[in-house]
């Protein structure tokens, strides 16, 4: 049995554990490297376990509130506060829980992988400290019920990410990529801060539920909405604000790139949370929905077409990450565009949203897996250049198997998980607008073509003389990749279970603004 203390305090513990562990890591590293590995692996395992416990609790009992500085969740709205929730609140609904599950699985798989992949590098105290801070930032972003708190966690995530993108320096190129990411992130964060200032000035509140309850969609609210949408769309790599993505994704260590995918999805979560929970029907849903759809279509098409000619495998995969984000934006954008029409929402809007949300978790798994395979290859041959690769299928069989699983999933080939979510998007979007569905299918074909090229370039052909001595990736790396591969397969084989358990509740939690508000302001 899980102690009640852990279940009750899981929202706080899942952030506190990696945060405290992060700052202790450098001291442990001075004692022993082996102890440090044990420490960070254990800290991440505990964080993942607490996070999954919380997510399961949310799916079992409904939205969880955690009020910092109060003895009970019912103190979310103190009697002497004038009806304003003044304390910091974590509000974990099924949408947040979906993101928690993604972070828990990916975070654990990637730390296992990192223990082997980064072993030969120096500065690992910083690496693991920043890694755990990234986890803290992501978990905080997707759990908080307070807009300023969201900004704080976003900044923690951005700073830690920038440090890790620059981690390998690489003749200054990695530092340049980190600088680009950092400058853009800071400008985006400033825009979000201005939006938060607008809300605070208008509604005298920072609590999401309170702002949502008072939302009037005034001109200032429209400005705030656009500032947040643009900033978070840029952070998740939507075209035409995606330019930082290939730079940062390709220069970061592959383990960090896999986590950057999850970080981008936390921004996507923030975007969806803003339009659905803060604004919902008060905004012009058709316009904003179509803006998100257009961002999605541009991301899908530009992402995949830019991926095909790439020679660097990680830049290629980064462009595919942009392309796959497009599917998520398309699916959820269609749901938003029909938000005001219940019959259309029931006919295909929910399904489109569920497809988009299902694609978030699927993408985190298979794209994370693909980046990890790229890292395993780099570890063994020291290059990301596809023109210099070949014949590695002879010596890296397990890596090849994992790559094939990830590649087939991203291309939407049955029975892998990418197919299930894409099918949901195709069929629902087709009813909304057939052209959009056709574009989505063509993009999938191009994705397959691109990964056929990558597969051939890396693994096919005779064993090349320069790679005659290449061995399979170390066991912890294979284990990390294996976890993600198993999830990709299971989610593909049993999509109904995932959709019914995780996705449908998340979609309904997003759409049902009233339930979110009453869960918090009603003192649930």
Partner 1 sequence: MELTSTLLTGTGSWNPLAWILGLVVAAVIAWLIYSLGEKGYKAGTAQAEPFISGNPEPEKGLVHVRAGNLYWGYLEALKGYYNRLVPLHTGDLHDYILWYLGVTALFLVLVVISA
Query: How near is the Cβ of 40 to partner 1 at its closest, in Å?
Result: 33
Positions 492 through 511 that interact with partner 1 (CB under 8 A)? 492-497, 499-501
Count the residues of the shown chain that bind partner 1, applying the rule CB under 8 A: 78
Q: Which is nearer to partner 1, 395 or 428 (CB)?
A: 428
User: In angstroms, what CA-CA distances link 425 with 12, 150, 287, 410?
Assistant: 35, 29, 20, 14
- Spatial contact of 103 and 138, defined as CB atoms under 8 Å apart: yes
Stretch that binds partner 1, among 47-55, 60-68, 187-195, 202-210 (CB under 8 A): 187-195
Cα–Cα distance between 46 and 24 in angstroms, integer? Answer: 15
Q: Which is nearer to partner 1, 163 or 492 (CB)?
A: 492
Positions 286 through 325 that interact with partner 1 (CB under 8 A)? 286-288, 291, 302, 305-306, 308-309, 311
Of 152, 362, 142, nearest to 271 by C-alpha is 142
Q: Which of 67, 174, 208, 241 binds partner 1 (CB under 8 A)?
A: 241
Positions 269 through 288 that interact with partner 1 (CB under 8 A)? 283-284, 286-288
- Spatial contact of 233 and 241, defined as CB atoms under 8 Å apart: yes
Q: Which is nearer to partner 1, 191 or 369 (CB)?
A: 191
Query: How near is the Cβ of 22 to partner 1 at its closest, in Å?
Result: 29
Query: How near is the Cβ of 385 to partner 1 at its closest, in Å?
Result: 8
- Spatial contact of 458 and 316, defined as CB atoms under 8 Å apart: no
Positions 189 through 218 that interact with partner 1 (CB under 8 A)? 191, 217
Under the binding rule (CB under 8 A), the answer on residue 454 touching partner 1 is yes
- Torsion of the alpha carbons at 291, 295, 296 and 299, rounded to the nearest 10: 170
Binding track, positions 404-433, relative to partner 1; x by CB under 8 A:
----------xx---xx--xx--xx-xx--
Query: How near is the Cβ of 178 to partner 1 at its closest, in Å?
Result: 12
Positions 243 through 262 that interact with partner 1 (CB under 8 A)? 243-244, 246-247
Q: Which is nearer to partner 1, 24 or 460 (CB)?
A: 460
Q: 268: which 2 tokens? A: 């996507």
Cα–Cα distance between 19 and 138 in angstroms, integer? Answer: 12
Under the binding rule (CB under 8 A), the answer on residue 449 touching partner 1 is yes
Positions 350 through 409 that interact with partner 1 (CB under 8 A)? 351, 355, 386-391
- Please return the burial class of 188, using the count of CB atoms within 10 Å of its CB with bins 0-12, 13-18 and 19+: buried
Stretch that binds partner 1, among 160-168, 204-212, 398-406, 491-499 (CB under 8 A): 491-499
Q: Which of 456, 472, 486, 508 binds partner 1 (CB under 8 A)?
A: 456
Q: Which residue has the tokens 């921004």?
A: 267
Give Cβ neighbours of residue 333 (< 8 Å, ≥ 6 apart): 289, 290, 291, 292, 293, 295, 296, 356
In the 8-state DSSP scheme, what is residue 338?
Answer: T
Q: What is the 3-state secondary structure (H, E, C) of 347-374?
A: HHHHHHHHHHHHHHHHHHHHHHHHHHHH
């Amino acid at each position: 049995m899980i102690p009640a203390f852990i279940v009750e305090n899981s929202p706080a513990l899942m952030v506190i554990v990696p945060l405290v562990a992060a700052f202790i890591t450098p001291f442990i590293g001075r004692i022993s490297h082996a102890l440090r590995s044990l420490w960070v692996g254990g800290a991440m395992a505990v964080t993942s376990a607490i996070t999954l416990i919380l997510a399961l609790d949310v799916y079992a009992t409904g939205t969880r509130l955690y009020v910092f500085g109060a003895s009970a969740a019912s103190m979310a709205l103190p009697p002497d506060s004038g009806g304003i929730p003044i304390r910091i609140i974590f509000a974990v609904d099924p949408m947040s829980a979906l993101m928690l599950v993604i972070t828990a699985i990916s975070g654990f798989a990637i730390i296992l992988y990192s223990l082997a992949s980064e072993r030969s590098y120096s500065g690992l105290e910083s690496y693991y400290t920043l890694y755990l801070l990234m986890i803290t930032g992501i978990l905080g972003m997707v759990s908080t019920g307070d807009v300023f708190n969201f900004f704080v966690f976003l900044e923690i995530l951005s700073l830690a990410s920038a440090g890790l993108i620059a981690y390998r320096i690489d003749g200054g190129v990695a530092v340049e990529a980190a600088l680009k990411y950092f400058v853009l992130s800071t400008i985006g964060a400033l825009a979000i801060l201005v939006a938060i200032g607008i809300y605070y000035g208008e509604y005298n509140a920072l609590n999401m539920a309170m702002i949502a309850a008072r939302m009037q969609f005034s001109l200032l609210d429209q400005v705030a909405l656009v500032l947040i949408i643009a900033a978070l769309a840029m952070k998740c790599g939507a075209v035409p604000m995606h330019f930082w993505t290939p730079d940062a994704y390709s220069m970061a260590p592959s383990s960090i790139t896999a986590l950057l995918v999850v970080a981008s999805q936390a921004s996507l979560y923030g975007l969806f949370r803003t339009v659905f929970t803060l604004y919902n029907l008060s905004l012009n849903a058709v316009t904003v929905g179509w803006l998100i759809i257009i961002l999605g279509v541009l991301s899908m098409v530009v992402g995949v077409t830019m991926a095909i000619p790439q020679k660097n495998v990680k830049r290629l995969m980064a462009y595919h990450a942009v392309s796959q984000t497009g599917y998520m934006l398309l699916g959820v954008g269609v749901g938003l565009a029909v938000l005001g029409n219940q019959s259309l929402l029931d006919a295909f809007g929910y399904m489109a949203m569920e497809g988009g949300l299902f694609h978030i978790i699927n993408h985190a798994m298979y794209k994370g897996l693909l980046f990890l395979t790229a890292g395993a290859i780099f570890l063994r041959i020291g290059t990301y250049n596809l023109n210099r690769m070949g014949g590695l299928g002879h010596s890296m069989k397990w890596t090849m198997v994992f790559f094939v699983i990830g590649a087939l999933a991203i291309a939407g080939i049955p029975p892998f998980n990418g197919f299930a979510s894409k099918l949901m998007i195709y069929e629902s979007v087709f009813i909304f607008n057939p052209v959009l569905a056709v574009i989505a299918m063509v993009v999938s074909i191009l994705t397959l073509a691109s990964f056929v090229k990558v597969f051939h370039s890396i693994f096919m052909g005779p064993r090349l003389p320069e790679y005659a001595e290449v061995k399979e990736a170390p066991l912890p790396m294979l284990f990390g990749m294996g976890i993600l591969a198993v999830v990709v397969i299971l989610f593909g084989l049993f999509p109904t279970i995932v959709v019914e358990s995780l996705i449908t509740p998340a979609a309904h939690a997003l759409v049902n603004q009233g339930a979110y508000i009453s869960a918090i302001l009603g003192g649930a």
